[in-house]
């Protein structure tokens, strides 16, 4: 079974098939499903994802407290957000956390992935353990680390030599450090897996040739493995960016946005505004900025990762 959804499908065999019947001939369409097969899923998805997406744009120009009907207020929500220091700070915090995640996780998961793609005997066991954090909900992971890092009952209380006064959640730098560490802990396995899959796909002849030329392991890594992983690096970093923009439970459970507003990232600020402050209009405006950011990034994903190639080589779809 192959589920490499971004791999290029075997275009050649589709072309061969298509050429057997002239375009437009009836024989080519015998036994082909009509678009009706796609409709139930499309309608369901439209109702529960696309309609709300359109509504979030509309609601961002409205005032709504959750009761009664929303009132149109024009640019009010937007102009208030532009002047809101917390909003600006939340964007910076979001970007900082996203950047930290990429800078820590990328080298780590490349090295682990390249290593796990090899043939060591203990590799399978290790990869099985590495994988576990990925199964846990963000909620479970956050609750676990909140407990392990508790200033009074957690590991810091035992290890003052390492953690100082132990109150990691009380200062901006350490609170951000904790958030970056926890998402690294949870998501490095996933990115390791991406690199592991990609590293396995590198043709062995490249390494054999390098070996004959006398290139050592580290030369092989920097001159063969790393360049061959370029596409995966882009995909993985983009996924990290989208993931970073939409982090939520980790902040809600670990820091509640604090100390002060020091770890209030945009997604959390949206939740606070809408569901704690009952200002759903402003919440929608923040949500819309998230949509725009993540759509732009995902369009880049589609471009770079080859999802769009898959579409264009689909048979029969011009």
Please choose, out of 25-33, 84-92, 161-169, 171-179, the segment that lies near another protein by the rule CB under 8 A: 25-33
Smaller CB separation from another protein, 103 or 299: 299
Q: Which of 77, 236, 241, 263 touches another protein (CB under 8 A)?
A: 236
Backbone phi and psi for residue 314, each to the nearest 5 degrees, phi listed first: -65, 135
Half-sphere exposure of 271 (CA within 13 A, CB side): 13
Ranges of H-type helices in 136-202? 138-148, 155-158, 160-163, 172-200
Decide: helix, strand or coil at residue 259: coil
Please choose, out of 73-81, 93-101, 168-176, 200-208, the segment that lies near another protein by the rule CB under 8 A: 200-208
Among positions 286-315, residues that touch another protein (CB under 8 A) are 287-288, 290-291, 294-295, 297-299, 301-302, 305-308, 311, 314-315
Please choose, out of 44-52, 78-86, 94-102, 162-170, the segment that lies near another protein by the rule CB under 8 A: 44-52
Site for another protein contains 163 (CB under 8 A): no
Contact residues for 168 (Cβ-Cβ < 8 A; gap 6+): 149, 151, 156, 174, 175, 177, 178
Among positions 77-106, residues that touch another protein (CB under 8 A) are none
Q: Report in angstroms how near the CB of residue 89 gets to another protein at its nearest.
A: 18
Q: Enter the tokens of residue 186.
A: 């949870």
CA dist., res. 281 & res. 158, Å (int): 46
Q: Report in angstroms how near the CB of residue 294 gets to another protein at its nearest.
A: 5
Give the contact letters, 242-281, x = binds to another protein (CB under 8 A), - = no: x--xx-xx--xx-------------x--xx--xx----x-
Residue 97 burial (CB count, 10 A): 21
Q: Report in angstroms how near the CB of residue 232 gets to another protein at its nearest.
A: 6
Give the pairing type, strands 62-63 and 71-72: antiparallel
């Amino acid at each position: 079974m192959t589920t490499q959804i971004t791999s290029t499908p075997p275009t050649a065999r589709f072309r061969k098939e298509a050429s057997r019947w002239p375009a437009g001939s009836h024989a080519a369409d015998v036994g082909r499903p009509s678009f009706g097969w796609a409709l139930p899923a499309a309608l369901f998805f439209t109702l529960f994802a696309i309609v709300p997406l359109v509504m979030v744009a509309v609601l961002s120009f409205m005032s709504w407290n959750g009761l009664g009907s929303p009132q149109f207020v024009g640019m009010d929500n937007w102009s208030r957000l532009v002047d809101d220091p917390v909003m600006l700070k939340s964007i910076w915090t979001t970007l900082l956390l996203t950047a930290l995640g990429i800078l820590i996780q990328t080298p780590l998961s490349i090295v682990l992935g390249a290593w796990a793609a090899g043939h060591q005997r203990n590799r399978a066991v290790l990869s099985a353990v590495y994988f576990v954090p990925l199964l846990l909900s963000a909620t479970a992971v956050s609750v676990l680390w909140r407990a392990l890092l508790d200033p009074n009952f957690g590991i810091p209380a035992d290890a003052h030599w390492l953690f100082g006064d132990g109150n990691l959640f009380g200062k901006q730098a350490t609170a951000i450090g904790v958030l970056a560490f926890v998402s690294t802990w949870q998501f490095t396995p996933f990115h390791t897996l991406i690199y592991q899959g990609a590293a396995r796909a590198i043709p062995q002849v490249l390494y054999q040739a390098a070996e004959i030329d006398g290139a050592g392991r580290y030369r092989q890594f920097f001159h063969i493995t790393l360049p061959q992983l370029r596409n995966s690096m882009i995909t993985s970093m983009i996924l990290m960016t989208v993931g970073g923009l939409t982090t939520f439970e980790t902040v809600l459970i670990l820091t509640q946005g604090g100390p002060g507003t020091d770890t209030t990232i945009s997604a959390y600020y949206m939740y606070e505004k809408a569901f704690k402050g009952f200002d759903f209009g402003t919440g929608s405006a923040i949500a819309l900025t998230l949509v725009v950011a993540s759509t732009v990034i995902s369009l880049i994903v589609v471009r770079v990762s080859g999802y769009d190639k898959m579409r264009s080589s689909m048979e029969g779809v011009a």
